[in-house]
Chains A and B, each alone.
Chain A
Amino acid sequence: MKPLLKNSSILLAVILLVALTLPLYAGEYYIHIGVMVLFYAYMAVAWNILGGYAGQHSLGHSLFMGIGAYTSTYLFSVMGITPWLGMWVGGALAGVMGLFVGYLCFRYGLKGPYFALVTIALAEAAVYIATNAEGIGGAQGLSVAWTGNAPEMMQFNGKGGYYYVILVMTVAAIVLSTWIIRRRFGYQLLAVRENEDAAEALGVDTLRVKVQASIISAMLTALGGTFFAQYFTYINPRNVFGEGPSIQILLFAIIGGLGTVWGPVVGALVLVPVAELSRGWLGGSFSGAHILLYGTVMVLVMLFMPNGIVGLYEKIRQRIQNRNEKSEVA
């Protein structure tokens, strides 16, 4: 056990060091890939708190992303309020929405596919509401007004600034997610996922912990929505409320390993570069080939690693540990 722990903390330190220094030597294109990896890792970690830990698979997390993106962008572009503040307003609104969705579904015992369907429906409803709300740009969407290199407005010349913003957000989300899973709340979420009746019989207020997970997950996702808007400087109903981001977020969590701290991060770390690089390399010569490659990688992971990449790693680790124990006995 011991040396393994040591190895993994060294590995972690190396990854963090690479992550911290990437913008110093990488070109803009690679920094962009770094931003995308971190952004999706962040979103997947946020999704994982409800979807992975508590086992309630939301297929409509774009609802919260959109609330975050639209709130901060509206406050910034129309009223001049900095996104640094606006993101928390969006987070609070999304938190209220998370409470509403969570309570509505879990109070009436919606589970599995039924919960998933409700989340899809609500996100889709948000697309149509935003499309028809002229006050927030309607189908045209909103552009984030450019104010020059203004860190106080979460705007930067070049991609390096954005990179560090999302790096801090991702590290913070991982820390929060780790903290949660090591305490009572985390154990109770896992128990709900594993067996709700048994959890309830052992004194777990299953409704309460599920709603709490929904609120936390929604708030974090909304903060990511603000970052998305600032980075791409343009949002419309389809690209923040639509099914695209919903599906992508949960793919990374599932491929990486559902319900583990590192699964969502690993998923994004492996898949986002595959997607981005293959688009860069193949997109010009064989159009569509990159999607084919991306799909193939995903199918392979699903087939050979049903518990995700981290799940496979855990399995191998257990096997080695078992073998060591056996050889110690012998």
Chain B
Amino acid sequence: MLEVSKLRRDFGGLTAVHDLTFKVEAGEIVGLIGPNGAGKTTTFSMLAGFIPPTSGDIVFQGKSILGLKPHQVCKLGVTRTFQIVQPFPDMTILENVMVGAYARYTGTVDARRKALEVLERVNLAHKANTLGKNLNLLELKRLEIGKALATEPSLLLLDEVAAGLKDAEVDNILVLVRQLNKEGITFLIVEHLMKVIMNLSHRVIVLDFGQMIAQGTPDEITKDPAVLEAYLGKEA
């Protein structure tokens, strides 16, 4: 479904992502982890069209999406969420989600119906008429997923949707993602919380200094010496 080859991004003299190559198959949940500054969010931004790569290629469903703008990438079926939640503060929750739904539906009646449907899915239906600025963090995280869901993505890029949430709330999100995955949405997930990554991912890709240092099932990853070194440092 998604093929990333030799993806590279330089910021001045710093190489944030260094010749990164990986694949995501349809139906998978792939976790992308790594220490701070490993290049996870930069990778996401490139995949979604927010930052142009310095070199390399991104192929989605057989076609290169290099050079496309975010809204074009979204129309093709790749939608991202943001690590720092980005609601539309002075619009209601329903309107927030409708903006996403308008990516697929031009009519307001259809967009509203789709948005209400999504609000049910993310447990925000009772907040439909609340303004974006009046939500708490859990609700904002749900809204972030809801807005993205409304665009009917085939590949959903989740950037730290569980960060800052309490345990029970994290569980809520896990259940939701697993359900959506069963319904056919493919996920690429950036996450610091190991609980999320280990529970959800079929496969995990580990980045360090912009390079892939390991990939495999969650179990394999936790035993990989390169991964342990990246996270815990070299054994003395």
Binding site for B on A (CB under 8 A): 182-184, 187-188, 190-191, 194-195, 197-206, 259
Q: Give the bracket for the number of chain B residues in contact with chain A.
A: 20 to 34
Q: Is the CB of B69 within 8 A of A204?
A: no
Q: Is the CB of A201 within 8 A of B88?
A: no
When distances are taken between beta carbons in the complex, the residues of chain B under 8 Å from A194 are 87-91, 132
Q: Is the CB of A202 within 8 A of B148?
A: yes
Q: Is the CB of A201 within 8 A of B99?
A: no
Q: Is the CB of B82 within 8 A of A199?
A: no
Which of A183, A190, A204 is in CB contact (< 8 Å) with B108?
A183
Asked if B147 lies at the interface with its beta carbon under 8 angstroms from chain A, I say: yes
Which of B69, B89, B100 is in CB contact (< 8 Å) with A202?
B100
When distances are taken between beta carbons in the complex, the residues of chain A under 8 Å from B104 are 203
Q: Is the CB of B69 within 8 A of A200?
A: yes
When distances are taken between beta carbons in the complex, the residues of chain B under 8 Å from A188 are 99, 102
Closest residue of chain A to B108, judged by CB?
Answer: A183
Q: What 1/0 flags go to B76-119 for Cβ under 8 Å of A?
A: 00011110001111110001001110111011100100000000
Write 16 A-B pairs (CB below 8 A) sorted by A numbering. Answer: A183-B108, A184-B102, A184-B107, A184-B108, A187-B98, A188-B99, A190-B99, A194-B88, A194-B90, A195-B87, A200-B69, A201-B71, A202-B74, A202-B99, A202-B150, A203-B103
Asked if B50 lies at the interface with its beta carbon under 8 angstroms from chain A, I say: yes
Q: Is the CB of B82 within 8 A of A206?
A: no
When distances are taken between beta carbons in the complex, the residues of chain B under 8 Å from A182 are 108
User: Distance (Å) between the CB of A324 and the closest chain B CB?
Assistant: 14
Most buried by A among B79, B100, B132: B100
Determine the distance from Cα of A197 to Cα of B75 in the docked complex, in whole angstroms.
15
Determine the distance from Cα of A205 to Cα of B150 in the docked complex, in whole angstroms.
16
User: Distance (Å) between the CB of B116 and the closest chain A CB?
Assistant: 15
Asked if B70 lies at the interface with its beta carbon under 8 angstroms from chain A, I say: yes
Determine the distance from Cα of A245 to Cα of B71 in the docked complex, in whole angstroms.
36
* Given A183-B108, A188-B102, A197:B82 Cβ within 8 A: yes
When distances are taken between beta carbons in the complex, the residues of chain A under 8 Å from B106 are 184
Closest residue of chain A to B106, judged by CB?
Answer: A184
Determine the distance from Cα of A266 to Cα of B147 in the docked complex, in whole angstroms.
33
Q: Is the CB of B74 within 8 A of A201?
A: yes
Q: What 1/0 flags go to B32-73 for Cβ under 8 Å of A?
A: 000000000000000010100000000000000000011100
Closest residue of chain B to A207, judged by CB?
Answer: B69
* Given A187-B95, A188-B99, A201:B89 Cβ within 8 A: no
* Given A200-B70, A202-B148, A203-B71, A195:B108 Cβ within 8 A: no
When distances are taken between beta carbons in the complex, the residues of chain B under 8 Å from A205 are 69, 71
When distances are taken between beta carbons in the complex, the residues of chain B under 8 Å from A187 are 95, 98-99, 102, 108, 111
User: Distance (Å) between the CB of B144 and the closest chain A CB?
Assistant: 9
Asked if B201 lies at the interface with its beta carbon under 8 angstroms from chain A, I say: no
When distances are taken between beta carbons in the complex, the residues of chain B under 8 Å from A206 are 71
Closest residue of chain B to A195, judged by CB?
Answer: B86
Interface residues of B in 112-160 (CB under 8 A from A): 132, 147-148, 150-151
User: Distance (Å) between the CB of B204 and the closest chain A CB?
Assistant: 25
Determine the distance from Cα of A201 to Cα of B70 in the docked complex, in whole angstroms.
5
Q: Is the CB of A198 within 8 A of B147?
A: yes
Most buried by B among A187, A190, A202, A259: A202
User: Distance (Å) between the CB of B81 and the closest chain A CB?
Assistant: 8
User: Distance (Å) between the CB of B178 and the closest chain A CB?
Assistant: 23
